[in-house]
Amino acid sequence: MGSYLPFDKVCFSAELITPHLVKTKFGWHVIKILYRT
């Protein structure tokens, strides 16, 4: 886990394959986790 807390929360706890919206000070981002190693 690093300094990008909104991304870290989604990347390490969200369901796989499902798109997730993350809002940061730079705007909205769509994250889709394909797999974890």
Q: What pLDDT digit, counting tens, does each position of 1-37 carry?
A: 556 678 888 888 889 999 999 988 889 999 999 998 8
- What whole-number distance in Å separates Cα of residue 36 and Cα of residue 26? 26
Q: Which amino acid is at 16?
A: L
Containing 10, the helix (H) or strand (E) segment is helix 5-13
Residue 28 DSSP code: E
pLDDT for res 25: 83
Number of domains in the chain: 1
The residue range of the domain holding 6 is: 1-37
Any residues with CB less than 8 A from the CB of 1 and at least 6 apart, and which?
Answer: 8, 12
